[in-house]
Structure formats: C-alpha cells, structure tokens
Amino acid sequence: MRKLTFAALLTGWLLYAMPLSAQVDCTVVVNTPEDQLMLAVNGADGPQEQVAALDKYAAAHAETKFTPCVNSTYTAAYLKLNNFDKAIEYGEKDIAANALDINLMLNLLKSYVGAGKANDTSFDVIDKMPNQLKVESSASRPAKMSDEEWAKAQQDMAAQMKDERAYAEYAFFQLLPRVADPPKRVQYLDGFMQAYPDTPNVGQVNYQYFVAYEYAGNPAKADEYGEKAIAADPNNVEYLVALANDYSAPLQPGQPDTPAHKLKMDKAEEYAKKVIQLVPTIKKPEGVSDDQFKITQNNQLGLAHLSLGLVEYQLAFKTHKIATTIQEFKTAADLLGANPELQAKALYLLGNAYEFGTAANHKAAIDALTRASSLQSSFKGPSADLLAKVKKAAHM
C-alpha cells in the first residue's frame, strides 16, 4: 500500500483530504452511506471483511459517484487476498473511466505482476505513471508551513515518487517477457521510452529491444540494440552471452562468408571469453540458493563455451583443425546438464564435430548422439537421424 499522499503530508488529513486533480475521489460527508462504508473498511479486521463491506454497499448503491473509490478499495482488498484477477477486474474499471491515482495504479500493477498478466491496459498504466506522479506531487505550500517543514515534505515526497516510479519500471520488465508477439513488444518498448526517456535502465531497455527484434527475425535491428545494451552495461553477463550466442550462429546454406560475418565471429569470441572471465567474479544475489546460483553460472559458462565451439567449428571448415571445437562442445555439454535443450544442442554439435574430423571418430560421435537423442529437446529427432547414419557408416 502506498504511503501518505503529498496532500496528506502537507495537511495532516488522510481520509477527508480533498483529492488532487485526476485522483480517485474518496472524499465523504459525515453520516452518509459512504462515510459508513469507509469507517467499516478502515475498521475491518482484514481484507475479507473489507470486501464484505464493499459488497454490501455496492448492492445497495448501484448508481453512485462514489463508484471509483469503491473500485479502488476493492482492488486494494483483493490484492491483499492475492486474488489478482479480482483486483485487476475492479482496477481496470477505474482505468476505463479515467479515474486515476497512484494508489490505484500501484495496486493494479502489483496485481498484474502477481497474475503474470500482460495486456494493453497494464502497459498503459505503466506509461501514465510518470505524469500521474507529477500531478499528485503538485500541491502548493500551505501558508502556515515553516521552511523546515516544507523542505522535509518535499524531500519525503521526492523519495516516495522515486520508489513508486521504480516499481512501475520493475513491473514493465516483469511483464514484457510475457508478450509473445514481437511487434507488440516493440510497441510497448517505444511507449515506455516515451514515458521514461531518462530511465536508469537503458541497458535493459536496449536488451529487450534486442530480444524483440531477434524474435521478429530482424537481425540487423537486433544487433544494433544488442550492441547498445552492452555499451550501456559492458560487464552484464546476460547481454554478453546473448550477443555471443547470436553472433556465433553458423552461416545458412548459400550464405556468403563475408567480412561482416568474420566481424561477428570475432565479437562472438570476444564476448564469450569475457563471460568466462566474469562469471566466477559475480556474487550470489540475496534470496538465491547456492544450488540455483550454481546452475545459473553453469548455464552462462556453458553457453559461452558453446559459442566458442561454434566459432571454432566454422573456422575448421578452412583449417580442418577440429580438436578445439570438440573440447569446447564437450565442456559446454558438461556445464549445461540442468538444461536438456541446451545440453542436447551441445551434444548434437559434438557428434557432428567428431564426424567432421579428417579421420571421423564414429565411436565418440555415437556416444554423443546417443546422449543427445535421449534428451527431450528439439534436437532429439535430428540427433536420432544423424545417429542412424553414423552407425551405418561405422559398420560399412
């Protein structure tokens, strides 16, 4: 729940303070049904009793100007009950009616995050947050407030606004990965950057643009934003792994080997090696178990070695030296044991590498491909097909 509004900080009144422009109006007159409702809500033992009081009032007053406040209070109560769908249902009624305030918007965003629900309204609320913060912090200095009191009130409000804005940005990055449609992701990113042009999370924004354009099949734009992400945060392992993996992707049949491709290979190698240097230096975040942290580290290292293996593999088409490629893929396969999809990819490539050598190592290839085909992954079928061919070649 949000702290006191700026109006409350200045006047000392909370329940009966006059609302600022564009806020949900919960002003009540003493001894009215609305007064009785708010007394019941504020005096309730818990959110379930609050919902009961709201239900009773809503049943008796279907048509009332107090509806936005009722909806906002429902949203807060259902959020406390972790009934996110109900909280969203009532919060969106106020949003549709353009009855906004920061309390409502924060509670609604927490409900969207809790429910994992990303829709147009959730991103619209995020984009409206900076302007609403300005609206609700625009109260004038009361005549009788001292310079010291006014300075303290402004300081408190600035800190509060910073926290509230930070949560809105947090909600954005929690919800965006749940958007499956790449053009929609780009649309939401564009809207976010218009609303938060001074965001401190510019690296993360650029990385999300990279992901969106990758999914959209626009490698030029993906690479552009991937490089921007790394420029903003050069030691971010997540960004470095993603770009190394992207750049090390092998050429498609008929695709020419150009200087631009060589540049990508060079960058893939540079970023992958940097990941291998950085991962051991990263401190375990609070709240993350030792086992989970180790898995994360292994996945990052495994992907880095997989990228290095792919770079070496493509060089091997010219040099015919495959030993380094094989070692990188073996290391990747060992590290990626907690991720069947990635481990299967490493083993499938390892099987290919053994067969690519000047003297094919059928036995080693069979071992790698047998393991790959036993894992539930998108490489299960291709591994089984290649395994059959290698076994046939081995007995010729």
Quick check: 22 pLDDT over 60? no
Q: What is the pTM of this model?
A: 0.86
Q: Which of 76-90, 134-148, 286-300, 354-368 has the lowest mean pLDDT?
A: 134-148
Tens digits of residue pLDDT in 262-312: 999 999 999 999 999 999 999 999 999 999 999 999 999 999 999 999 999
Cα distance between residue 9 and residue 153, in whole Å: 6
* Number of CB atoms found within 10 A of residue 389's CB: 12
Q: Are 22 and 101 in contact (CB under 8 A)?
A: yes
pLDDT at position 27, please?
83
**What are the C-alpha distances in Å from 69 to residues 3, 23, 48, 74?**
17, 10, 17, 8
pLDDT of 9 strictly over 50: no
Close Cβ partners of 92 (under 8 Å, ≥ 6 residues apart)? 108, 121
Alpha carbon distance 357, 380 (integer Å) = 23
Q: Is residue 1 predicted with pLDDT exceeding 50?
A: no
Q: What is the CA radius of gyration of the chain?
A: 29
Helix, strand, coil shares of the chain, percent, nearest 5, are 70, 0, 30
Assess whether pLDDT exceeds 90 at residue 180: yes
What confidence score (pLDDT) does residue 396 get?
Answer: 60
Candidate from 165-174, 215-224, 229-238, 310-319 with smallest mean pLDDT: 310-319
Residue 320 above 90 pLDDT? no
Residues in the chain: 396
pLDDT of residue 108: 97
Q: What are phi and psi of 24, to 5 degrees?
A: -65, 125
Q: Work out the average pLDDT over 100-127.
A: 96
At residue 28, what is the residue type? V
Does position 82 have pLDDT exceeding 90, yes or no? yes
Q: Which domains does the chain have, with CATH numbers?
A: 6-178 (1.25.40), 179-233 (no CATH), 236-394 (1.25.40.10)
* pLDDT mean over 313-319: 87
Q: 133 and 102 in contact (C-beta within 8 Å)? A: yes
